Amino acid sequence: MHLRLPAFRYAAARAFRNAALTLICTISPLLAEPLTLVALGDSLTAGYGLPEGQGLVPQLEGWLKAKGAEVAVINAGVSGDTTAGGLSRLDWSLTPEVDALMVTLGGNDMLRGLPPETARANLAAILEAAKAKGLPVLLIGMQAPGNYGAEYKTAFDAIYPDLATAFGATLYPSFFQGLAGGSLDPAALRPFLQDDGIHPNAEGVARIVADLGPAVQAFLAAPRP
């Protein structure tokens, strides 16, 4: 018995060490800092016309956390902002703790009838700056209505898929695709919009988040080079 005791003690110590390492590996992800996602956008991001806690950013963060994602979503939305405005404040929005960027800009360029090439250039500069910082980007697409003409619509709508391909960004095709099953029929959209017919109400945001959330979740979980 005395000759076997040291071996028994060694085996017990080794088993304890292995169990401790397993426990550390299990809980270490829980102790990690949450990811920080900056949502750079306009009134659609800022939560225009909605009670506190019902805008895109708080609803999206709540959805992600309910799915187990450790993430803080920072509201960098400014009502009325164009792509030029978003670009002008990009540097101070991308603080050192930021891990990823979501861009929802272009709607005001389109509503004002600004040249699509200007919006394209500004969004390209945003993506280039994010790339220089090593930040992955989720680019949220926008589509122009037909009242500016077919040429304008074709040029504007192509901005987002073109830039996503050029810069290796992740594309979410259309901000409003979660509303009314993707229908653009004004009658189908009306129950989910505020009285201005442009901005989603709280239920509309919830529908948008239900569709957008899985895309954001997959984007954040994707391996980075």
pLDDT in tens, 25-46: 444 344 457 899 999 999 999 9
199 in catalytic set = yes
- In 3D, which of 86, 73, 121 has the Cα closest to residue 217? 73
As a whole number of angstroms, the distance between CA 210 and CA 216 comes to 11
Active site residue 43: yes
Both ends of the chain: CA-CA distance in Å? 56
3-state SS class at 201? coil
pTM, entire model: 0.84
Please name which of 219, 221, 179, 170 lies closest in space to residue 199, comparing C-alpha atoms: 179
Residue 81 burial (10 A CB sphere; 0-12, 13-18, 19+): buried
At residue 32, the pLDDT reads 58
Active-site residue (options: 99, 183, 196, 211): 196
Burial of 186 (0-12, 13-18, 19+ CB in 10 A): exposed
The DSSP symbol for 89 reads T
Residue 196 appears among annotated catalytic residues: yes
Determine which one of 42, 43, 109, 157 is catalytic: 43
Candidates 42, 81, 109, 199; catalytic one: 199
Q: Which of 139, 178, 125 is nearest to 39 (CA)?
A: 139
**Low-confidence stretches of the chain (pLDDT beneath 70):** 1-32, 225
